[in-house]
Structure 1
Amino acid sequence: MPLPRRRFAGLCSGGALAALTASALGASSSRAVAGAVARTHFKAIVIGSGFGGSVAALRLGRAGVDTLVLERGRQWPTSPTEAVFGSQERIDGRMFWFRSVAYWPGVAPVPVRPQPGVAEVSNEAHLDILCGAAVGGGSVVYTGATVPPPRPYFTSLYPPGLSYDEFAGRWFPLATRELGATTMPKDIYDAAPFTHSRLWDRHMRRAGYAPEPIGSTFDWDVLRAELRGTVRASATAGESDFGCSNGAKKSLDRTYLPRALATGNVQLRPLHEVRSVRRGRRGGYALEVRRMDASGTVLDVEEYTCDLLFVCAGTLNTNRLLVAARERGDLPDLPAALGSGFGGNGDQISLRTTLTERTGPAQGAPCASARFFHRDFAQPMRAESWQWLSAHSLPVLVTFAVTVDRENRGTFVYDRRTRRVVLTGWGPEAQRASARAMGQYDAAVLAANPGLVSVALDYPVPFTGHPLGGCAIGRCTDLEGRVAGHRGLYVLDGSLVPGNAGGANPSLTITALAERALARIVATGG
Structure 2
Amino acid sequence: MAPHPLSRRRLLGRAVLSAAALAGASTLSALPQAVAQQRSRSGSFVPAVVVGTGYGAAVSALRLAEAGIPTLMLEMGRLWNTPGPDGRVFCGMLNPDRRSSWFRTRTQAPLSSFLWLDVVNRDIERYPGVLDRVDYDHMSVYVGRGVGGGSLVNGGMAVVPRREYLRQVLPRIDSARMYGRYFPRANAMLRVNLIDKGWFESTDWYRFARVSREQAGRAGLHTVFIPNVYDFGYMRREADGRVPRSALAGEVIYGNNHGKASLDKTYLAAALGTGKVVIETLHQVRAIRQERDGSYVLTVDQTDEGGAVLRRKEIGCRYVFLGAGSLGSTELLLRARETGALPDLGTEIGRGWGPNGNVMTARASHLWQPTGAHQSCIPVLGIDDWDNPDHPVFAEIAPLPAGLETWASLYLAITRNPERGTFVYDKAAGRARLRWTRDQSAPAVAAARSLFDRMNRANRTHYRRDLFGTPAKAFADDFCYHPLGGCVLGRATDDYGRVRGYRHLYVNDGALIPGSVGVNPFVTITALAERNVERVIAEDIAR
Same fold (TM over 0.5): yes
Return the alpha-carbon distance in structure 2 between the equivalents of residues 39 and 142 of structure 1.
31
Aligned to 1:482: 498
C-alpha distance in 2, partners of 1:262/1:169? 27
Find the counterpart in structure 2 of residue 242 from structure 1.
254
Residues of 1 paired with 2:94 and 2:510: CA distance?
30
Partner residue of 2:186? Answer: 175
Contact 2:26–2:79 (Cα < 8 Å) also in 1: no
Is residue 520 of structure 1 aligned with residue 535 of structure 2?
Answer: yes
Q: Which amino acid aligns with 2:520?
A: N
Kindly indicate whether residue 77 of structure 2 is the aligned counterpart of residue 65 of structure 1. no
Secondary structure, aligned partner of 1:448: helix
Give the secondary structure class of the aligned counterpart of 2:298.
Answer: strand
Describe the shift of the 1:79–1:437 C-alpha distance in structure 2 as closer, same or farther (beyond 3 A).
same
Alignment of 1:410-425 (within 5 A): 410-424=421-435
Does the 8 Å CA contact 2:484/2:516 hold for their aligned counterparts?
Answer: yes
**Count of matched residue pairs:** 502
Q: 1:298-309 to 2 correspondence within 5 Å? A: 298-309=309-320
Contact 1:66 1:266 in 2 (8 A): yes
The answer on whether the counterparts of 1:339 and 1:412 sit within 8 Å (CA) in structure 2 is: yes
State yes or no: 1:491 paired with 2:507.
yes
3-state DSSP of counterpart to 1:288: strand
1:320-368 deviation digits (Å, cap 9, x = unpaired):
1110111011111111110011101000111112112122222111111
CA distance in 1, matches of 2:286, 2:388: 45
Q: How many Å separate the matches in 1 of 2:415 and 2:445?
A: 9
Shift of 1:225: 2.9
| Distance across 1 between alignment mates of 2:362 and 2:403 | 11
Structure 1 match to 2:152: 140
2:99 counterpart of 1:84: no
Structure 2 Cα separation of the partners of residues 116 and 287 of structure 1: 22
Q: Deviations over 1:406-432 (max 9, x none)?
A: 2x11111111222221112x1111111
TM-score normalised by the chain length of structure 2: 0.87
Question: Which residue does 2:35 correspond to in 1?
Answer: 35
**Structure 2: distance between partners of 1:350 and 1:478:** 38
2:439 equivalent to 1:435: no
Cα deviation, 1:5-39, whole Å, max 9, x if unaligned, reads xxxxxxxxxxxxx95469767999xx963133132
Deviation sequence 1:209-234 (CA, Å, 0-9, x none): 22111111111233123212244332
Mapped to 2, the partners of 1:25 and 1:242 lie a distance apart of: 22
How far does residue 102 in structure 1 lie from its aligned partner after superposition?
A: 2.0
Q: CA separation in 2, counterparts of 1:290 and 1:188?
A: 49
Post-superposition shift, 1:375?
4.5
Matched, 1:333 2:348: no
1:473 is matched with 489
Matching residue of 1:11: none
Equivalent residue for 1:273, pick from 264, 284, 292: 284
- Indicate if the aligned counterparts of 2:288 and 2:341 stay in contact, CA closer than 8 A: yes
Residues of 2 paired with 1:155 and 1:403: CA distance?
17
Give the whole-Å Cα distance in 2 for the aligned partners of 1:119 and 1:400. Answer: 18
Gaps of 5+ in 1: 1-17
Partner of 2:104: 99
Aligned mate of 1:366, from 375, 378, 385: 378
Q: Read off the aligned partner of 1:387 and give its amino acid letter.
A: P
Q: Partners in 1 of 2:35 and 2:291 — Cα distance?
A: 22
TM-score with structure 1 length normalisation?
0.90
| Structure 1 residues 444 and 53: CA distance shift in structure 2, 3 A | same
For 1:358 and 1:83, the matched residues in 2 are separated by 31
Distance in 2, Cα, partners of 1:486 & 1:243 = 37
Question: What amino acid sits opposite 1:390 in the alignment?
Answer: A
Counterpart-to-counterpart distance in 1, 2:332 and 2:239: 44
Shift of 1:151: 2.1
Instruction: After TM superposition, list the pairs within 5 Å mapping 1:90-239 onto structure 2.
Output: 90-107=95-112, 108-159=120-171, 161-186=172-197, 188-189=199-200, 190-239=202-251
| CA–CA separation in structure 2 for the residues paired with 1:400 and 1:266 | 36
- Aligned: 1:507 with 2:522: yes
Structure 1 residue aligned with 2:392? 380
Which has the larger displacement, 371-380 or 220-229? 371-380
Q: What is the identity, as a one-letter code, of the residue corresponding to 1:168? A: Y
In structure 2, the CA distance between the partners of 1:225 and 1:467, relative to structure 1 (3 Å rule), is: same
CA distance in 2, matches of 1:194, 1:111: 31
Q: How does 1:345-360 map to 2 (within 5 A)?
A: 345-355=356-366, 356-360=368-372
Match of 1:455 in 2: 464
> Helix, strand or coil: the match of 1:58?
helix
Check conservation: 2:364, 2:409, Cα contact below 8 A. Answer: yes
Larger mean Cα displacement after TM superposition, 187-196 or 170-179: 187-196
Correspondence 1:301-320 to 2 at 5 A: 301-320=312-331
Q: What displacement does 1:441 show?
A: 0.8
User: Contact 2:193/2:231 (CA < 8 Å) preserved in 1?
Assistant: no
Tell whether the 8 Å contact from 1:153 to 1:404 is kept in structure 2 after alignment.
Answer: no
- Which residue matches 2:10? none
Q: 1:188 to 1:252 in 2, by over 3 A?
A: farther
Higher mean alpha-carbon deviation, 347-356 vs 104-113, is at: 104-113
What amino acid sits opposite 1:39 in the alignment? R
> What is the CA–CA distance in structure 2 between the aligned matches of 1:33 and 1:242, rounded to whole Å?
30
Greater shift, 175-184 or 511-520, is seen at: 175-184
Cα distance change, pair 454–78 in 1 and its aligned pair in 2 (3 A): farther
Letter in 2 for 1:469: G
Where does residue 116 of structure 2 map in the other structure?
Answer: none
Residue 13 of structure 1 is matched in structure 2 by none
Counterpart position of 1:261: 272
Distance 1:299 1:78, change over 3 A: closer
Over 3 Å counting, the alpha-carbon distance change for 1:309 and 1:248 in structure 2 is same
Alpha-carbon distance change, 27 to 212 in structure 1, aligned in 2, over 3 angstroms? closer
Q: Supply the AA of the counterpart residue of 1:44.
A: A
Superposed displacement of residue 170, structure 1: 1.4
Query: Aligned-pair RMSD on alpha carbons?
Result: 2.4
CA drift at 1:445: 1.4
One-letter identity of the residue aligned with 1:65: I
Contact 1:19 1:268 in 2 (8 A): no
What CA distance in whole angstroms lies between the structure 1 residues aligned with 2:432 and 2:521?
23
- Structure 1 residue 167, shift from structure 2 partner: 1.3
| Percent sequence identity over aligned pairs | 36
Point out where structure 2 has 5 or more consecutive residues left out of the alignment. Answer: 1-14, 113-119, 471-476
Change (3 A) 1:215 1:99: same
